[in-house]
Amino acid sequence: MSSIRVLVVDDSALMRKLIPQMIEHDPALHVVGTAMDGEFALKKIPELQPDVVTLDMEMPRMDGMETLKHIVRHHPTLPVVVVSAHTTEGASQTFKALSLGAFDFIAKPHDALSGNMDAIGQDLISKLKAAAMRRMVSSVQMVRTPGRVIRKQKQRIDNTPAARVLAIGASTGGPNAVEYILSQLPANFPAAILVVQHMPVGFTEMFAHRLDEACAIEVKEAVPGDLMVAGRALICPGDRHMKVKRMPLGNVVVLNEDERVNGHRPSVDVLFRSVADEFGAFSLGLLMTGMGEDGVEGLGRIRKCGGFTLAQDEESSVVYGMPRVAAERGYAMRILGLSDMPQFVASYFSESVKAVNEQV
């Protein structure tokens, strides 16, 4: 098999040196060139024919956003992995890039000279490999087709403890997919919603804010002790695990910094297992697009404990990894496309509430 050809685009001379060093630790990857800004990058793409591009957002002349728009328009099968600054503005730009069609992103370390580059090296390598394997035009278009929803009328949260839980886990391709699902749920959605999206520190707060603007339900980054109430989605913070706990005065989320699970913190498995143990038959687990197996065994536990389990289908997944493994192991009771999920989830919980009311 020939090496995966990578073009590195970054205005920093240091990063143009360090990123190729990280990439070429893996013999399956080969850096065919570098570019200091978007104009140079767009000239080099036809010449070098890369399989994937790493793209800095903050560059002179033509910045990363304009470069990405050009790539999506003129080279639609060429995947782009964004290299994002660890700032509020950097996070905002990253989510815009993902909505435009970027495959995924990595966050630059605070200090590239401190040796922290090793911490993101394997993450970058795995994402570059996944991006090159997935010439994912159809999947990205599927995820982006519904578009963003401008802020809807919010329903006042009354802090009534939620008896039911929707737990969502996602990785690569997840931000757009999670946004689509949550934006389609009604303000009076009758369950609490908990989300683990593989994402580093500093990005989950912006992610939650972006979702809150697009949704009728309330969306916020979780803090320890947050009440689980109907019509509110809590996003697990980066570099924390999230669990649930039943308490006399209301069900709450618990955050911790325990060891990584499946290489991740936050881990979908940690959330799903906790939801299964605490809520059992009153839970629905949804495993979405992403690499690897995080969340698979947790989804199996939700099913074993009487909850309902869903997995995203291959066609609408940017990376059909986590949901594929769940389907192969028989843990997913239903496999649905992204466009079918919101209606199914809303109907499932509405019917559950109706059944309980009829028994009373």
Does pTM top 0.85 for this prediction? yes
pLDDT of 79-91, one tens digit each? 999 998 877 788 8
Q: Which of 14-28, 114-128, 270-284 has the lowest mean pLDDT?
A: 114-128
294 counts as catalytic: yes
pLDDT score at 360: 41
**pLDDT class for 236, splitting at 50, 70, 90?**
very high
Say which of 139, 171, 283, 317 is annotated catalytic.
Answer: 171
Instruction: Name, in order, each residue with C-beta under 8 angstroms of 9's C-beta and a sequence gap of 6 or more.
Output: 34, 35, 36, 37, 38, 40, 41, 53, 54, 55, 56, 59, 64, 67
Q: Cα(247)–Cα(234) distance, rounded to whole angstroms?
A: 17
What is the enclosing helix (H) or strand (E) of 314? Answer: none
139 counts as catalytic: no
Mean pLDDT over the full length of the chain: 89
198 counts as catalytic: yes
Whole-number percent of the chain with pLDDT over 70: 87
pLDDT of 156-205, one tens digit each? 556 667 889 999 999 999 999 999 999 999 999 999 999 999 998 889 99
Say which of 183, 198, 212, 226 is annotated catalytic.
Answer: 198
pLDDT score at 230: 94
Q: Which of 63-72, 139-148, 312-321 has the lowest mean pLDDT?
A: 139-148
**pLDDT class for 117, splitting at 50, 70, 90?**
low
Q: Cα(194)–Cα(115) distance, rounded to whole angstroms?
A: 34
Residue ranges and CATH numbers for the domains of the chain are: 4-135 (3.40.50.2300), 165-359 (3.40.50.180)
Q: Cα(137)–Cα(134) distance, rounded to whole angstroms?
A: 9
Mean pLDDT to the nearest integer, 1-28: 91
Q: Buried b / exposed e across 278-304, counting CB within 10 Å, b at 16+?
A: bbeebbbbbbbbbbbbbbbbbbbbbbe
pLDDT score at 136: 41
Whole-number percent of the chain with pLDDT over 90: 76
**pLDDT of 355 above 80:** no
pLDDT of 328-354, one tens digit each? 999 999 999 999 999 999 999 988 766
Q: Cα(242)–Cα(217) distance, rounded to whole angstroms?
A: 20
Say which of 294, 313, 316, 317 is annotated catalytic.
Answer: 294
**pLDDT of 255 above 90:** yes
